[in-house]
Amino acid sequence: MHRRDFLKMLGAGCLSGCTPPAPPFPKGELLGVSHDLGHRLHDGTLPAPNSTRHARVVIVGAGVAGLSAAWALRRAGINDFVVLELEKESGGNARAGENAVSAYPWGAHYLPIPTMESKAVRVLLAELGVLQGDPFAQRPRYDERHLCHIPHERLFWNGRWQEGLMPQFGASREDLAQIQQFDELIAHYRQRRDAHGRKAFALPMAHSAQEADLLALDTVSFREFLLSKGLTAAPLHWYVDYCCRDDFGCTAAQTSAWAGLHYFCCRDGEGSNATSDSVLTWAEGNAWLTRRLAAPVGQRLHTQAAVFRVEEQSRKVLLDVFHAGENRSERLIADHVIWAAPLFALPRIFADCPSDLAAAIAQTSHAPWLTANLTLRQPPTGKSGAPLSWDNVLYGTPSLGYVVATHQRLRVTPAPTVLTYYRALTEETPAQGRQRLLNTPWRVWADDILRELSVPHPDIAQHVQRIDLWRNGHAMIRPTVGFIWGNARARLQQTGQRLHLAHADLSGFSLFEEAQYRGIIAAERVMEQEGLRYVSLVA
Amino acid sequence: MRPALLATVFLIASCGLAYELIAGTLASYLLGDSVMQFSTVIGTYLFAMGIGSWLSQYITGRLALRFVQIELLVGLLGGVSAAALFLLYAWVEGPFRLALYLLVLLIGTLVGLEIPLVMRILRQHIGFRDLVSQVLTFDYLGALVVSLLFPMVLAPQLGVVRSAFLFGLLNVLVSLWTIRLFRDELPVRALHLQCGLAALLLSAGFIGSDRITTLAEENLYADRIVYTETTPYQRIVVTRWRDDIRLFLNNNLQFSSRDEYRYHEALIHPALATLPHPARVLVLGGGDGLAVRELLKYPTIQSITLVDLDPAMTRLFSQYPQLTQLNQNALTSPKVQVVNADALVWLEQDAGRYDFIVVDFPDPSNYSVGKLYTEAFYRLMDRHLKEDGLAVIQSTSPMYARRAYWTIVTTLEAAGLQATPYHALVPSFGEWGYIIASHHPYQPPRKFTVPLRFLSPESLPPLFNFPPDMARVPAEVNRLNNQSLVRLFESEWREVIR
């Protein structure tokens, strides 16, 4: 026996003998998008349609883009539409779950204070009572209950929690100087306007300035861009990389510098009681918004409805739809189709898909994500420093940290809670990440998550009751180098005759504002082609 | 015989210095100003040793017997000295300094007798030159050893009280040793008995010194702790010193029974006395029932709902005799309904509207409690306030946390309420602040119809006047998404409390 083994054995003996019996390992489920149904779409095993139905507009996909298209149609008084959703529930990336402790998000969980350009977001928030008063005011008032409460965010670094996400305590003088330089660089781009007064980086991104030097930023990675500016500090690069993984599902070395700068520059919306770094958030995340968008759609929303064939004819579009709940298929004959589902699925089912469109879609790539909701008997305790915040991030770990679902709850006393843990699988290629997502058993993920979180929270395992996991192989489009202002995305903008693409994929990154914008643009194009009167929500 | 007696010199010198150090340490510990205490104790001690030396000429015969008796006395007095002084200081507000110097004088005198006697005993065995040299050598050597041992080992390891008992036992040991050396000329049996009794007493003290220390310290520091409980929400400590009962939550003073009437009269009556027919009252926080005691002075009040988070608090103040005497059994009054709930959660669910709302929460020292001072909270509170009703909010000190105080005023105004700030002097807290919130302008009452000790129509107007050092300062609104109040409160109080 080697000495090391002997010591290990001693250690193990002590562990089993000296510590109280460990609580039972938490229970949980492994959930995810309908993988099987997705695959059946193109292996030809679905039944042939046995009925036919006409619809003026068919919206495929009930995520933010599809529900926003429906919202725009409803606002214009058009009610003759159908929304088809592959999953059991609407919401797309804003889907949510709920248990006895709290509602919790499975995806997007906040909305920044809308910019002046995000008109449609403002109108929606006013409609829902979140924004009070004139929706187009420079600094409108927001319902305090939905503004993220203090404490906002904290970072675990060097053995303690610090306030805010930018590494500060433990950073060297040089690091801090570079962080300040970075802030100044961002401030410069935030203020930059073109000859028409357009922002360098606007939200929605379609409103951004089109100056050549700005668009050229798309041809280098965000990491290279920072290095070229002499910004080399490791804590700064960690922070920037974290932001890219969090918003785009890819690393700073993969992200287009234009997209990276867009993230840091575009959010400048303010309120009379909110600053530009304020966000709106809800226990269930952005499902709070999508559920309010879905409710009025009512019977027109069909879930578990898989479109397995699309054919564009001169005056109509034919859609073959499999209703998994009823195990039957039907043919929809639509005047217009708004394709508000992820684009990668389209070429496989689109008869006579134009080859340049298929080629453009082939150039998109999507990030695989894992989301975990941990149900705890009591809020996590542990290492000193800043108190438990809404967003809690761990420096140098593969995850993106966790968000506290009960943060907005109005109560003083500590109570059971749900932590939503996010992880973009960026260590490998998206395809390899998807394989890992598919092949890794629940217990391996659960162990991995608890191991990571027990560094700042040594006793967390004793308080966790459940760990539920959500796997999403194509969670969000990746704004990789060259994609934002390259030919592929330009091709996606070209509209079909009756098949209109409407998805955040068209913007190159998955944000509520972008998805909503694309959905509304498609709806308004339909209305224009139909010669209907409407007041634009985006112009 | 000679080495044995020189060893004795070493030991008695050690003990002698030890008592001096113990007295000095204890005096500095209890009275402070260690330079003064050590100087006066050492001075007195040396002077007393001089007296002892002078007195030694009057001891003529039976030197060994006298020496043994003196040793026993030194051992007893020195051994119990620390414990006695400690208990005396803690329990009797007596003349501690007088007792201290008397004891030092007594022990010093006895110790002063020792060396001359030993020298006279040894003179029979050693020549004078060697005698002086050797006795004094061992005397100083013993002093050196103890002066090093005491601060480095004994005081930190054993404590002052136990060390004293240990040296007392050493003195008894010296006695026994001496009895053995001079067994032919001494009444051995009687002396052994005395030694045994002394040893027994000192051993008991040595073993029990922890309890003696605890007994003394309990009295010394937190007055007398009469009740402690750790609940899921806080640590509750009630102390009593003479007729002063104090409540501490998480080590923060909540009230002192000597002046709590000032705090609670100022909290309740300026607002309540202006309401013509207050019937329904809501108290948020205030689980001690003292605010309720003031409310119950008004016969028109039909129901009081008290919402306090901690059931242990309201139970304590409903059952514990000294405390129910203080709140005059307010919490068990049939008019009072006690609810143990999170005020925010309860307010969201309750549909009631009240004539008077008393908001008596702990100070906003963390984000959790800070939520109870936000615009959102005051809007929620407002939903429960009748159109002609009034609310009063305890709002920290406008003197020590001036910006925090005016932040609360500004926040109430942002929530659409009229805010009337006022303050009162509560000696155990300092200058304390309150705010009346209402829908219509508030006018102070012209008279009070209930018995009061602090407030009178004449003493009231100055409470609404803020002198320049507490006058209004511009402040931010405290919101759930900024909680500026918590940061202000922390920074302002940090300036005041060391």
Mean pLDDT of B200-211: 88
pLDDT at site A19: 47
List chain B residues with CB under 8 Å of A412.
Answer: 309, 342-344, 368-369, 371-372
Cβ distance A144 to B375 less than 8 Å, yes or no, reads yes
pLDDT at site B304: 97
pLDDT at site A456: 94
Cβ distance A412 to B372 less than 8 Å, yes or no, reads yes
- Tell me the HSE value of B305 on the side-chain side, using a 13 A CA sphere: 19
Catalytic residue among B288, B355, B360, B363: B360
Strand B224-230: give its sheet, edge to edge.
B224-230, B235-241, B244-249, B252-256
List chain B residues with CB under 8 Å of A145.
Answer: 376, 480
Looking at chain A, which residue has its C-alpha nearest residue B366?
Answer: A387
Average pLDDT of every residue of chain A: 92
Decide if pLDDT at A6 tops 60.
Answer: no
Cross-strand pairs, A91: none
The band of B31, judged by pLDDT with boundaries at 50, 70 and 90, is confident
Mean pLDDT of A423-435: 96
The band of B27, judged by pLDDT with boundaries at 50, 70 and 90, is confident
User: Which of A273, A278, A412 comes nearest B309 by C-beta?
Assistant: A412
pLDDT tens for each residue of A234-290 = 999 999 999 999 999 999 999 999 999 999 999 999 999 998 889 999 999 999 999
Cβ distance A273 to B345 less than 8 Å, yes or no, reads no
| E strand or H helix that includes residue A373 | strand A366-376
Cβ distance B480 to A150 less than 8 Å, yes or no, reads yes
**Amino acid letter, residue B281:** V
Mean pLDDT of A490-502: 90
More confident residue, B293 or B34: B293
A1-10, A178-187, B185-194: range with lowest mean pLDDT: A1-10
pLDDT tens for each residue of A126-150 = 999 999 999 999 999 999 889 999 8
Cβ distance A145 to B480 less than 8 Å, yes or no, reads yes
More confident residue, B5 or A363: A363
pLDDT at site A412: 81
Decide if pLDDT at B411 tops 90.
Answer: yes
CA-based nearest residue to A52, from A329, A317, A336: A329
A259, A66 Cβ separation under 8 angstroms: no
C-alpha span between A334 and B266 (Å, rounded): 74
pLDDT tens for each residue of A83-119 = 999 999 999 999 999 999 999 999 999 999 999 999 9
Cross-strand pairs, A372: A421, A469
Cβ distance B342 to A411 less than 8 Å, yes or no, reads yes
Looking at chain B, which residue has its C-alpha nearest residue A147?
Answer: B481
**Chain A interface mutation, best of B367, B481, B489, B490, highest count of A Cβ atoms under 10 Å:** B481
A17-31, B156-170, B450-464: range with lowest mean pLDDT: A17-31
More confident residue, A446 or B490: A446
**Strand bridging mode B354-360 / B385-394:** parallel
Residues B326-336 as b/e (b if ≥16 CB within 10 A, e otherwise) read: bbbbbbebeeb
Mean pLDDT of B198-212: 88
pLDDT at site A13: 40
List chain A residues with CB under 8 Å of B368.
Answer: 412-413
B428, B259 Cβ separation under 8 angstroms: yes
A450, A469 Cβ separation under 8 angstroms: no
The band of A417, judged by pLDDT with boundaries at 50, 70 and 90, is very high
pLDDT at site B138: 87
Widest pairwise Cα distance in chain A? 85
Q: What is the pTM of this model?
A: 0.74
A348-352, B90-94, B231-235, B431-435: range with lowest mean pLDDT: B90-94
The band of A531, judged by pLDDT with boundaries at 50, 70 and 90, is very high
| E strand or H helix that includes residue A265 | helix A257-265
A273, B479 Cβ separation under 8 angstroms: yes
pLDDT tens for each residue of B348-372 = 899 999 999 999 999 998 888 899 9
Where are the strands (E) in B340-401, listed by range?
Answer: 354-360, 385-394
Decide if pLDDT at A335 tops 60.
Answer: yes
Output the six-digit token pair for B38.
Answer: 């050590």
C-alpha span between B402 and B404 (Å, rounded): 5
The band of B218, judged by pLDDT with boundaries at 50, 70 and 90, is low
Q: Which of A5-9, B202-206, B420-424 has the highest mean pLDDT?
A: B420-424
Q: Mind telling me how many Å the CA of A166 is from chain B's nearest CA?
A: 19
CA–CA–CA angle A397, A400, A403 (5° rounding) = 130
Decide if pLDDT at B450 tops 50.
Answer: yes
The band of B92, judged by pLDDT with boundaries at 50, 70 and 90, is low
List chain B residues with CB under 8 Å of A148.
Answer: 481
The band of B160, judged by pLDDT with boundaries at 50, 70 and 90, is confident
The distance in angstroms from the start CA to the end CA of chain B is 61
Mean pLDDT of A171-192: 96
pLDDT at site A235: 96
List chain A residues with CB under 8 Å of B284.
Answer: none
Indicate the burial class of B221 (C-beta count within 10 angstroms; 0-12, 13-18, 19 or more).
exposed
Contacting B with CB below 8 Å, chain A residues are: 144-145, 147-152, 273-274, 278, 387, 410-413
Q: Mind telling me how many Å the CA of A278 is from chain B's nearest CA?
A: 8
List chain A residues with CB under 8 Å of B486.
Answer: 150
User: Which of B375, B481, B483 comes nearest A278 by C-beta?
Assistant: B481
pLDDT at site B424: 97
A13-22, A64-73, A287-296, B7-16: range with lowest mean pLDDT: A13-22
Q: Mind telling me how many Å the CA of A271 is from chain B's nearest CA?
A: 12
C-alpha span between B454 and B382 (Å, rounded): 29
Mean pLDDT of A415-436: 96
Mean pLDDT of B380-409: 96
More confident residue, A183 or A6: A183
ipTM over 0.90: no
The count of CB pairs under 8 A between chains A and B is 55
Cβ distance A411 to B345 less than 8 Å, yes or no, reads yes
Cβ distance A147 to B480 less than 8 Å, yes or no, reads yes
Ordered alpha helix ranges (H), B229-295: 260-272, 290-295
User: Which of B344, B482, B486 comes nearest A410 by C-beta?
Assistant: B344
Place of tokens 């134009």: A354
Active-site annotation holds for B360: yes
A87, A283 Cβ separation under 8 angstroms: no
C-alpha span between A169 and A447 (Å, rounded): 30
| E strand or H helix that includes residue B369 | helix B367-370
In terms of C-beta distances under 8 Å and separation of at least 24 residues, what long-range contacts does A210-215 make, across chains too? A214/A258, A215/A258, A215/A485
pLDDT tens for each residue of A502-520 = 999 999 999 999 999 999 9
pLDDT at site A16: 41
Indicate the burial class of A436 (C-beta count within 10 angstroms; 0-12, 13-18, 19 or more).
middle
Mean pLDDT of A460-481: 95
B330, B336 Cβ separation under 8 angstroms: yes
C-alpha span between B27 and B41 (Å, rounded): 8
Mean pLDDT of B173-191: 87
Cβ distance A144 to B479 less than 8 Å, yes or no, reads yes
Mean pLDDT of A348-365: 93
Decide if pLDDT at A55 tops 50.
Answer: yes
- What are the domain boundaries of chain A? 35-95+284-362+485-529, 366-477
More confident residue, B400 or B34: B400
A247, A263 Cβ separation under 8 angstroms: yes
B415, B384 Cβ separation under 8 angstroms: no
Average pLDDT of every residue of chain B: 89
Decide if pLDDT at B462 tops 50.
Answer: yes
Decide if pLDDT at A7 tops 70.
Answer: no
Output the six-digit token pair for A42.
Answer: 């193109």
Mean pLDDT of B6-23: 88
Mean pLDDT of B250-266: 91
Q: What's the CATH fold of domain A35-95+284-362+485-529?
A: FAD/NAD(P)-binding domain (3.50.50)
C-alpha span between B196 and B494 (Å, rounded): 57
pLDDT at site A18: 45
Sign of CA dihedral A123, A127, A133, A139: negative
Cβ distance B481 to A273 less than 8 Å, yes or no, reads yes
**Helix (H/G/I), strand (E/B), else coil: B404:** helix
**Chain B interface mutation, best of A150, A163, A278, A378, highest count of B Cβ atoms under 10 Å:** A150
